[in-house]
Chain A
Amino acid sequence: MHVPTVAELVAQGKTPEILFWVGCAGSFDQRAQRVTKAFAQILDQVQINYAILGKEECCTGDPARRAGNEFLFQMMAYQNIQVLNGYGIKKIVTTCPHCFNTLKNEYPELGGDYEVIHHTTLLQQLINEGRIKLQGGGSFTGKKIVYHDSCYLGRANGIYEAPREILEWLDADLVEMKRCRTNGLCCGAGGAQMFKEEEKGDTRINTERSQEALATGATIIAAACPFCNTMLSDGVKLAEKEDQVSVLDVAELIATQLGK
C-alpha cells in the first residue's frame, strides 16, 4: 500500500481532500506506528482522498507549550502553519488528541484555520455512512472492552461518544470504569509528563489507571490516544497481564475487522 504525501499530490496537480496529521508519536513510536498504519489502511480501503505531510510535518508544539516554553511552541506553530497554508489545507484528521486540540483550538488565532477532526469522529462518520462494514460476524461480539477517555479528547474537547459508539458498533460488551467520561482519570502523560519522570508520590498515575481498567475484567482496553496507549500498556505489563489483556486503539480494532 502506498501512502501519498501532499507534496506528491500537488506535483501531480491534485490536492488531498483531507490531510492525515500523523503526529510525532504516530510517526516515531513503534507502538503508535501500528495505530498509524491501521488508520492509513482504513483510509485506503474506504478510498478516501487523503495524504500525509511526511517529512514536512513538525511537532505541533503541544508538549513545549504545556511545559511552559511558549517560544518553542510559537516557532513550531509558525512552521506548521506556513506549510499547511502553503498547501491550502482545509481539513485535517489526526489520531492524536494532543495534536487535535492544538490544531483545532490553538492554531486558528495564529493564522492556521482548518476543519480539524479526531480519527474516532471520522471513523464513526464512515461507519454511519456505511463506508466501513463489518466483515463476517465480527470477532469482538460479546467481548468485554473498557474504554479509557483521553483528557484531550474528553474534557478538553467534549468528545465522549464517538469512540464508544464505534465499540458498540463492533458489538462489544462495552464496560465502564467508575472514573469515566467527564470524571475520567488521566493516564498520566498529558502536560508533557510523558517526557519526564513523575513527581514523588504513592503510586504512578498510569499504574492507578491501568489497575482500574484491569479491575473491570475487560480483555481489551480501548484507547484513542497514542500516549494513553503507551501509559496503559506499561501499566498492564507492570501487572503482568499483557498476555490476557491488550491495549488497542479504536482504529486498530476496526482495522482487524476489515480482514487485512
Chain B
Amino acid sequence: MGWLEPLVFALLSLIALVLFSKKVSAIRRNILLGRKEKIDDQPAKRFKNMLLLAFGQKKMFNNPLVAILHGFVYVGFVIINIEIIEIIIDGLSGEHRILYPLIPSLYPYLINCFEILALLVLVACVIFLIRRNVLYIKRFKSKELDGWPRTDANLILVTEIVLMGLFLLMNASDTLLQQRAVGHYADHPTGNFLISSWLHGILGSFSDQSLLITERTSWWLHIVGILAFLNYLPYSKHLHIVLAFPNTYYSKLQPAGKMDNMPSIQQEVLYAMQPELAPTDAAPAPLRFGARDVMDLSWKNLMDAYSCTECGRCSAACPARQTGKLLSPRKIMMDTRDRLEEVGCQLDKKSDWNGDEKSLLHTYISTEELMACTTCNACVEACPVSINPLDIILQLRRNLVMEESRTPAEWAALFSNVENNFAPWKFSPDDRDEWTRSV
C-alpha cells in the first residue's frame, strides 16, 4: 500500500479525536457549572454499586429478555472495540491484519468471537428497532420523544447495524480474496470465519476487482463510521455507555427518603430561635433558595442529565405519569440536559455570558409538572444508571415556594396550619391527645 491511505487515515483519526476531546471538555465544563457537592465517602460501597449497576447492569434484569439483548449490544460494543485496535494499527502502518502473524493460531478464534458478537449485536438492534417503531410499548410512544429524541434513538440503532454489517462484509470479502490468492490477502491465510462466510454465497459471483473494492470500501466505511459515531456519542443520548460508570459511582448512598439539608436555612432558624447564638456580623443570606436554573443544581444532577439515555423506565414507574398527569421524570432529565446544552452553547460563543431571560424552571419545566410529584421515589428506583429526577424536582419546588412564593392555595393553608397549629390541619394543638380519652 502506498503512503496516501495511511496519511488520510491518520488525518481523519486526528480530526475525529480533536473534535471528540473538544466536545468532551465542553461537557465536563458544563457539568462543573453545577453547584459544588462533595461526594467522596465510602469508596468501597460506591465501587460495588458501579460494578453491580453499570458493569453488571443489575437493574436491567427487571426484564430479563431486554437485559440479555441489551447485554449483547453492550458486550459486543466493548469487545468488538478490541478489533478496532488492530484496525487502527493497520490504518496507520498501511499493513493488513497486523496481528495475524503474531498470533496465527489464536487469531481466527478471536475474529470468530467478534463475528458472533457482531451478529448478536445486529440481531438485538433489529429487535430494538422493532420494539421502538412497530410494537406498542408505552414508554417509547411518549410525546417528549417526538422529533429529535426518537430520531436519535433510531439513528444509534441503525448505525450499529450498519457498522456490524460492514465488519462482516469486510471479513467476508477478505477471506474470499484469500481463497483466490489475490495480492497481499494471500499473505494472511486466516481461513474463513464463522459468520461472514455466510456472505460468500452473495459475494462469490463478484470479480476480483469488485471484491477488492468491496473489502476496501467496507474497511474504510467501518472505521470512518466508528470515528463518526465516536463524535456523535457526546451529542446523543448514547453517552450513557460512558457516564453510567461515574454516575452509578457517585449515586446517593443514604436512604432514598432523605432530602438534602439546607444548612443556611437551618442556621437562620437557629438564630431566630436563639438570638444569643447569632454572630454579630450577620452572614449574607444565600443568593438562591433551591434551584431556578441548571447552574443552581449540583454537578451530580447535571451528570445525571448527561447520563440519561431516555429509556423512560422512570416515567413508566411514575404514579403521576401513569395516571395521565403532565409530569414525566424522563422529561425532567431531558429538559435539564437541553437547558444545560443551551447554556453551554452560549458560553462557547461568549465566555463571560451571564444568563438570559430563560431558566430551567418555567421555560422548560412548568409548575404543573412540579406540583404533580408525590416524591414516591419510583423514578429513582427504576433508573438502571442511578439517575435521580426527584432531587431536581424538589430543588425546583424549593425555589418556586421560597423565592417566588408560588404555591397552590391548599398548600398555603397547609403551611399556615403547620405554623400556627403544629399540624397540617386546622385543629387546636390542645386536642392533639384527645384520642387518649377514648382508648
* Chain A residues with a Cβ under 8 A of chain B: 1-3, 5, 22, 24, 26-29, 33, 36-37, 40-41, 52, 54-55, 57-59, 61, 63-72, 74-76, 78-79, 101, 104-106, 109-110, 151-152, 155-158, 182-186, 188-205, 207-209
Contact = CB atoms under 8 A, between A and B. Distances in A.
18 contacts: A27-B423, A37-B439, A40-B439, A52-B436, A67-B414, A70-B289, A71-B402, A72-B418, A78-B269, A105-B254, A151-B374, A151-B375, A186-B374, A197-B410, A199-B320, A199-B326, A203-B324, A208-B319
A52 B434 CA distance: 12
A69 B419 CA distance: 11
A145 B428 CA distance: 37
Nearest to B264: A70
Interface residues of B, number: 68
B285 to A, nearest CB: 12
B258 A106 contact: yes
B28 interface: no
Contacts of B394: 66, 68
Contacts of B397: 66-68
Contacts of B254: 105
Contacts of B430: 55
Q: Name the prevailing secondary structure of the B interface residues.
A: helix
Interface string B363-394: 00000100111111110110000000000001
Contact of A63 (B319, B424, B429, B439): B424
B392 to A, nearest CB: 13
Contact of B414 (A52, A55, A63, A205): A63
Contacts of B257: 101, 105, 152, 155-157
B435 A33 contact: yes
Contacts of B278: none
A208 B273 CA distance: 44
B351 interface: no
Contacts of B377: 151, 155-156
Contacts of B258: 101, 105-106
Given A59-B422, A68-B407, A156-B377, A198 B259 contact: no
Given A190-B374, A191-B373, A201 B323 contact: yes
Contacts of A36: 435
B432 A68 contact: no
B322 interface: yes
Of the listed residues B322, B376, B380, B432, the one surrounded by the most CB atoms of chain A closer than 10 A to its CB is B376
Given A28-B427, A71-B268, A199-B327, 13 more contacts: A66-B397, A68-B290, A70-B262, A70-B265, A72-B418, A74-B265, A74-B266, A76-B422, A155-B256, A158-B255, A191-B375, A195-B410, A201-B372
A20 to B, nearest CB: 11
B278 to A, nearest CB: 14
B425 interface: yes
Contacts of B438: 37
A78 B376 contact: no
A225 B255 CA distance: 18
Contacts of A209: 319
Contact of A205 (B259, B270, B374, B380): B374
B48 interface: no
B323 A205 contact: yes
B227 to A, nearest CB: 41
CB-CB nearest 3 A-B residue pairs: A156-B257, A202-B324, A191-B375
A155 B381 contact: yes
A156 B439 CA distance: 32
